[in-house]
Chain A
Amino acid sequence: MKMKLRAAAVVSASALLLAGCSGTGDGGDSGGGTGGLVGTGTGASCVIESPVKIGAALSLTGGAGSYGASQQQGLELALEELNAADGIEYKLSIEDDASEPRQGISVMETFAGDGTSIVLGPTLSNTAVAAMPIANEASMPVMGISTTAGGITDIGEFVFRDSLTEAQVIPQTIDAVIDEYDLKKVVVMYSNDDAFTESGYEVMAETLEGTNVEVLDTLTFSKADTDFRSLLTAAKDKNPDAIVVSALIEAAIPLVTQARELGIEQPIVGGNGFNNPKLMADAGDAAEGVVVGAAWNSASDNAENQAFLTAYEAKFGAQPDQFAAQAYAALYLIDSAVRSDCSAERADLRESIGSLKDVATPLGAVSINADRDAEHPAVVQIVKDGKFAVLR
């Protein structure tokens, strides 16, 4: 035991020494860790000697496991494509945050301590709110790739995201629906024990307040609920023109099924959580007429998106969802930031990501704004014949 301790002490002391050395060098050949991530050339000609370490904290298990799995595939595809280009080798390490804030914190601490240049994720806003401050304190850039709750990028200077916020998507969606269906009165439903759905609700309420549409009632449920019949019966009694819902996909499927079963034929307008092909796969005919605003639609015909669809289908034999698309786009954003001043040092990356403008991705042309949030146009979609079609 004593021997082991002494050996560990020697090892860590020498590690410290090494780190000290490389810190003072100009970063040619220190092999990862601190320094060595500044290369020569710019853009496509940028060459960085050491591999660039990128971390990802994804919910591969737990409540958001289905989102994490999509994100993992999106990242793997982008990684493969980017590493095929010359000059920079990315090393991606994906860790499971188990959909839990506590696990997310410990994953983030690991990345902060091992010389990772930037971390993608965590998957859920709940977890992100807890884990991102760790990255920010360590001056390590972190980019949300699915977090859409408000306030995420307020955590600090090093926090970015490429996922359009609910605050950006929902107003566009609601305006389109009001216009399309000539809405006069609606019932709003949301799960009030989740940061994501709660902030989605707040935007909905705020947007509706600015219109002539009357909110007849606001009903709440828990994200673990699967039986919505009593809520839906209460909603139906009010006879609304549409039901506006902020919920995750796990709740969306039973909610939509049960609504149609109870004879609610009005349009159901969903937040970002509804934006998942599983909605049509599992709710079947009941999903028809559901309107969902989204940051991404598979029908978008920009060249990057078409290439992404083809490559994804070829690699995984399945259609990508928005989570895969945003994860994929994030790695491309990072690549274009790294190449723009040919450095993957944490501090340099923060600067270069912050000044990204009109990067072509499957999401469209993405820019990072002064609040470190991504900006690109949203798509309003409606379920038609079992598919998301573009409403407008």
Chain B
Amino acid sequence: MQQLLNGLFIGSIYALFAIGFTLVFGILDRLNLAHPAVFAASAFVGIGLAEAFELSIWVILVLVFLFGAVLGLVIERVAFRPLKNRPDAHFAGLIASIAMAGMIVAVLQAFFGPQTRRFPEGTAPEGKVEILGASATYVQLAIVVICIGLVIALNVLVQRSSLGRSMRAVAENPTAARVLGINVDRVTAMTFSISSALGAVAGVLFALNVNSAQLGMGTAIELKGLAVIIVGGMGSLPGALVGGLILGIAEVFAIQYIGSSWRDFIAFALLFVILLLMPQGIFGKRKVREV
């Protein structure tokens, strides 16, 4: 039971990270590899805020959400927009975002130093609850709740709001969307902004959960996040959630029943099998490209 919970919590973190990733990927068809850097940056900024002003965790989450949103705008403006009219815009943006990631991490190191950091004690309410003989901290429970809440909220945003409609139009066909009077640049910027804000929240929760923030924390989770969105179905929000949970639980059970050395092997083999059976991912829709 404890292991099931462990898997659920790890999975929620993967999902939270992947949701932001998949949003940009699904709507704009761009892979933003600066996302892991946002993840790390927000954790460090959150720790900086907590140390300097002794804020409550809720205030920090809101501030970091805003920080992420702004950082997302910057990433879009610097790494993606100048390249958008090039014929190889997707690939160029991908490379530019890697450069952005390197720069963000370098700035972080200049400000915070290379050391591992943590949130000061007492930032988040400490303590744990017992669920059927297994224990879970408040932070872990909050992660699951926030994760599910964000998926629902985002789904509503994309499906119901006018911004969401514009997003879906851009996802379908940017040129046609522009013809219909949608401000594609604005929608693109908003998408990046929301995506990074989510990545930022994920970063803070992750650092709280494991009591450690490292400059390389984004890179460590990057590939898993990528795997999760591909298995979940490119651009599918529920897919990211389910994919994250599957990966988390697969890892935990590999450890428990097969051996810790086989963890990544088992987890990724499982994802591979899922892809073989469902090539477009669990929640992915087959894309029809018309010539």
Contacts and interface: CB of A to CB of B under 8 A. Distances in A.
B8 to A, nearest CB: 11
Interface stretch (A64-72, A107-115, A124-132, A288-296): A64-72
Main secondary structure of the interface of B (DSSP, over half): helix
Interface in A205-227: 219-222, 224-227
B260 A219 contact: yes
Interface string A292-332: 00000000000000000000000000000000000000000
Nearest to A99: B114
Interface residues of B, number: 37
Interface in B186-218: 206, 209-212, 214-217
A120 to B, nearest CB: 19
B49 interface: no
A253 B135 contact: no
Contacts of A282: 116-118, 211-212
A250 B212 CA distance: 8
A254 B211 contact: yes
Contacts of A231: 255, 260
A230 B251 contact: yes
B261 A192 contact: yes
B246 to A, nearest CB: 15
A258 B260 contact: no
Contacts of B159: none
Nearest to A251: B212
Contacts of A254: 210-212
Given A225-B220, A230-B252, A258-B211, A65 B115 contact: yes
B109 interface: yes
A61 B212 contact: no
Nearest to B109: A61
B2 A227 contact: no
Chain A: number of interface residues, binned into ranges: 35 or more
Main secondary structure of the interface of A (DSSP, over half): helix
A283 B261 CA distance: 26
A278 B6 CA distance: 26
Contacts of B121: 284
A192 B265 CA distance: 14
Contact of B211 (A62, A192, A253): A253
Given A221-B260, A254-B210, A263 B115 contact: no
B116 A230 contact: no
B7 interface: yes
A177 to B, nearest CB: 23
Interface in B1-39: 2-3, 6-7, 9-10, 13
A253 B9 CA distance: 19
B10 A230 contact: yes
23 contacts: A61-B114, A62-B114, A65-B114, A69-B115, A220-B260, A221-B260, A226-B210, A226-B217, A230-B3, A230-B7, A230-B255, A231-B255, A233-B3, A250-B116, A250-B212, A253-B211, A254-B210, A257-B211, A262-B135, A278-B115, A278-B116, A282-B117, A282-B211
